[in-house]
Amino acid sequence: MNQQLGATAFLSGYLVLFLIGVGGIGFWRIKRRRETPPLEFKLLRGPGESLRQRMNKFDQDFLLQVGGAAIAPVAAGLVTVGLLAWLAPQLQPSYGLAIIAAVFIGALVASGNWALRRLLRDRDDRLGYLGERSVGETLGELVERGYRVFHDLPAGLSAGAFNIDHVVIGANGIFAIETKTRRKEPARPGHEPHKVAYDGKRLIWPWAEETLALEQAEARARWLSEWLHQTTGVEISALPVLVLPGWYVTTIVPGTVMVVNHKLLSGAITRAHKVTLGEEQIETIARQLEERCRDVED
């Protein structure tokens, strides 16, 4: 048993030292070169910028996080062995093994759940990113018609920060667009698996009803309206729009939120006649949005 523990401790120590060593040498070499970018980049945020940044961080930290999650149960077991040898040297071997096994299994379940949650979140992030990219491509049609389009607008305060997926400004108003990319699930009897209905108050998915996405769209539009009034003095109510890429959307009763498929989004916006904005107002609003969205440095 002592040989097995020794081999496990050696392997764990080797993995930790390898990760620390490679990372430390790489960081030292980068700092030693004293290189700087040719200019200070401040680019506009693209569709799904927040998700892109989170996916990049996941990719960069993947080996360290998964390696740490794999090593944690072994480390917990080794620490338990050391504590038992120090605090209870007379403990019967069977009791000692039971305690070590319980600690190892508990740490294994905890670290496994931690790693699994991050893997599943990354899977959802990648789907959401594709959905926002598809909506961004559709909104490119509006740019050709003279609309101003911004993506992934940072909103809220640091404690409750969020992002508005897309903001569109045109002579017929300003639109706060929330994108929800949902996977298809088994449908209930009487519901088609590719259709979602909107009755003015809720979304009726093939498997369940939901109001959260509509509430989010309304809350983001309300925040945008208040923020623009504070920063520009323009009193305008942004129209909340919810886009469901890949779903056939049927509106039974129109509500306060416009709900559409991404392919029909451009036409729905151009047909909406909420307010009339002049060129000066559009430019004033666009300057504020651009200033807030121009923060991409990597």
pTM: 0.82
Q: Kindly provide the residue ranges of all beta strands, DSSP E only, lying in 142-293, ordered along the sequence.
A: 148-155, 162-170, 173-179, 195-198, 203-204, 209-210, 239-243, 248-251, 258-260
Q: Which of 102-116, 129-143, 237-251 has the lowest mean pLDDT?
A: 102-116
Mean pLDDT of the chain: 87
Determine the pLDDT at residue 7.
60
**168-195 residue pLDDT tens:** 999 999 999 999 999 999 999 989 999 9
**7-14 mean pLDDT:** 64
**260-272 residue pLDDT tens:** 999 999 999 999 9
49 class by beta-carbon count within 10 Å (0-12 exposed, 13-18 middle, 19+ buried): buried
Retrieve residue 257's tokens. 């939120």
Which residue has 């050696």 as its token pair? 10
Give me the amino acid identity at 37: P
Q: Hey, how many other C-beta atoms are within 10 angstroms of the C-beta on 220?
A: 25
**86-99 residue pLDDT tens:** 777 777 777 778 88
Of the candidates 156, 168, 182, 141, the residue with the CA atom closest to the CA atom of residue 50? 156
The yes-or-no verdict on residue 120 having pLDDT over 90 is yes
Alpha-carbon distance of 241 to 256, in angstroms, equals 9
Residues ≥6 apart with Cβ < 8 Å to 187: 193, 206, 207
Determine the pLDDT at residue 1.
47
Q: Which residue has the higher pLDDT, 122 or 26?
A: 122
**143-172 mean pLDDT:** 90
CA 63 from chain center: how many Å?
20
